[in-house]
Chain A
């Protein structure tokens, strides 16, 4: 037995010794601009094709590999990037795009009008089943290419003028359309990567060729994705490091946080719940906190009895909204890392049209007396026996404590039954939502695609979005829909935003969803890492990051 113990301790010692050695080796000093930054990543859902990516794991990487026609400043303003000019014609129904000369892909191929037209036609065509397909919905001819067995294979709204100029014709006018062109779905692809039928090479997504500040280098599935600074890049972005190594964390951000603490990982763009209370005082990391444009709300679907769009439903919805003590939830459950909401978008200067003064937003302020009063008024219209409003969350998304707090708030302040119920995963909950089959309220999280208030309204509450978008409450109101399409057809952004604001007033009346809080961006970097900030839609500005 003694022998065994000795063997074990020798084993333990040798392991400790090994660790000590490996920690000492391999540190050479060099100037900060030629360092590779190790950043948090997750395994992309699909191969790295811009048009086939609408989730953040792949999206964050594609944003580094591809430059679009426009880019967004850190303040959320859309600026021309690959585009030399974008000129609206015919009252914002047609856009004439001129492309900057001399820009190339990493394989040396020039960026031309065809780089965009081929890429967009490929993404929009139904038989290619691309995740970004719906982004092309505004363009003329979308209906024909998105159908089963489409005869037409190209978007009729895309017309090449010269090698460096093309026109986009829309189905109906949209003043916000140019703003959308910075989303990675609209990225150009090298023409050489398409076959004669306009199909992208099968393995393109395994080693994408981009036109961005970084060049793709290597992808070890579920391990890491390596990007290096592009040597052919002539675009607008300045890169302060020599490359990015996206370390993939398959189990979420907790393991990544431990790695930042031990200096193995440089940048983590989120903070796990286990560290949310402590990361700001953690001496082993640097905390980064900023405002975000992420919307967090609670939706009540109209399939719930007593929660329709009539007067009773309106009263009950308002009562529930009044009964939620948002500030306490922000203080205790979100650890103060959020602001009290004021409207249907975060109150952020980065969103065009965001406003803190929308008529009817007092319904967001906690008022238990008002809540009870409105509830009994609704009862006078139609009695609600055994009143109950459960709130649902997907267990793999980390909303448990938040929704438990919301349920407790409703239960305590409104005096009705309410508890948080879990659905096993996002897939299951999303399906129930899409089928209008959730037996209670549920959380709505929305990360905007472009920095306009329009993007917080149209995909979530219009009648059309019940079928094609993310309108899971079933809200359908002609006046609201008209205000949004009128806004799109407006002659100036200011005028459009005024109409969008009017649409918000309607939302506060019917309350298909009510905002819960304006969440903040939070992240950590290892000691010695410099220049970490979040851009307008919560992606780290990777190009700015450097380390000693």
Chain B
């Protein structure tokens, strides 16, 4: 197992290099001159704009810009944003906020998603199953930017039971609703996935054996079926972490959360290559760790899956 983890950690290097190069390419491909746009309707002299271009190496070909970035990373200097902040400061303030939001969302995915998945999987074709299915559909059919807005209006503005936005109050109380909204679509997937896995396993031989041994239903479901059903669910949730961290742009906007998603989006729209690539580098690392954990979990959940063959 140790060897397996070691190999995986080594594999991180090409993944990070590949991803950052790709991202730099994408940022470079985007049309528009970020420096001209920076000055809006009051452009200064060409000479002044060239000063900025030189400062951020924007006058260099893309591969040089990428090498400058790599050089910076190796010396632990991610560079500066157009505003003049250290990119590392931006990451240091926004990452914990996003992490809190993402982990709370994952928590809801596990509790609500897996919970409802088990119930609907075991009780086939009941009213409860259909109610859950319908709620799932409502959530799937409404984009987050509408769902978030509606939830905010009903629960915060009209009923006043949760705060409307997060702003600088980074605590569970303020994050609860955003996390639920962010998790909602994934919860639907986790419910469907768990449900289908449970149904698959209900009639498996080992379940019959377990029942034949006289184990009660609860033990059979929680101990045997669930464990055998979890591999795809864990896969999905692990992969989702990356999406929740970087893809929460809409949720963050609706609830005024100053997280990675917002920084990424505004970095993209301002054409700030260095900021975008640095943020993505952090996301890749998180994602790789999450996936490694998932792969290790496989072996724990399903002893038949083995790594590091001797």
Contact = CB atoms under 8 A, between A and B. Distances in A.
A-B complex is real: yes
Interface of A: 1, 4, 8, 15-16, 18-19, 22-23, 43-47, 54-55, 126-135, 146-150, 205, 220-224, 247-252, 254-256, 258-259, 261-262, 264, 274, 284, 396, 424-428, 430-432, 434, 446, 459, 468-470
Contact of B32 (A15, A47, A427): A427
B230 to A, nearest CB: 16
Contacts of B157: 258, 261-262, 284
A255 B165 contact: yes
Given A129-B51, A130-B48, A427 B34 contact: yes
Nearest to A447: B41
Contacts of B32: 425, 427-428, 430-432
B245 to A, nearest CB: 16
A18 B173 contact: yes
Given A220-B168, A255-B165, A427-B32, 12 more contacts: A15-B176, A55-B40, A126-B44, A126-B48, A221-B85, A224-B167, A256-B165, A262-B163, A264-B164, A264-B167, A431-B36, A470-B42
7 contacts: A47-B84, A126-B45, A131-B44, A146-B44, A147-B45, A434-B36, A469-B43
Given A150-B47, A459-B41, A250 B253 contact: yes
A256 B157 CA distance: 12
Interface stretch (B67-75, B131-139, B183-191, B265-273): B265-273
A210 B173 CA distance: 38
B254 A255 contact: yes
Contacts of A220: 168
A148 B50 contact: yes
A427 B269 contact: yes
Nearest to B46: A148
A19 B269 contact: no
A47 B83 contact: yes
Contacts of B33: 427, 431
B115 A4 contact: yes
A23 B256 contact: no
A35 to B, nearest CB: 19
A133 B51 CA distance: 13
A251 B253 contact: yes
Interface in B110-146: 111-112, 115, 118-119
Interface stretch (B7-15, B148-156, B234-242, B289-297): B148-156
Contacts of A427: 32-34, 37, 269-271
Contacts of B253: 250-252, 254-255
A434 B255 CA distance: 35
A254 B119 contact: no
Given A130-B44, A131-B44, A431-B31, A258 B115 contact: no
B47 A148 contact: yes
Contacts of A258: 152-153, 156-157, 164-165
Interface in B150-203: 152-153, 156-157, 160-165, 167-168, 172-173, 176
B39 interface: yes
A19 B149 contact: no
The 4 closest A-B pairs by CB, nearest first: A251-B253, A427-B37, A133-B44, A146-B45
B115 A129 contact: no
Nearest to B41: A470
A221 B82 contact: no
B5 to A, nearest CB: 33
Contact of B269 (A4, A43, A425): A425
A131 B42 contact: yes
A430 B162 contact: no
Contacts of B172: 15
Contacts of A434: 36, 43
Contacts of A135: 42
A15 B173 contact: yes
Specify which of A146, A252, A262, A469 lies most central, judged by the most chain B CB atoms within 10 Å of its CB.
A262
Contacts of A425: 32, 269
B248 to A, nearest CB: 11
B269 A274 contact: no
Nearest to A150: B47
B31 A428 contact: yes
A432 B37 CA distance: 11
A22 B169 CA distance: 12
Contacts of A248: 258
A207 to B, nearest CB: 13
A146 B48 contact: yes
A46 B85 CA distance: 9
Contact of A134 (B42, B55, B168): B42
A146 B45 CA distance: 6
B262 A250 contact: yes
Nearest to A394: B269
B119 A134 contact: no
Contact of A249 (B31, B51, B256): B256
A264 B93 contact: no
A23 B40 contact: no
B251 to A, nearest CB: 9
A129 B49 contact: yes
Specify which of A132, A220, A430 lies most central, judged by the most chain B CB atoms within 10 Å of its CB.
A430
Nearest to A148: B47
B29 to A, nearest CB: 12
A151 B85 CA distance: 30
A45 B51 contact: no
B48 A431 contact: no
Contacts of A45: 38, 82-83
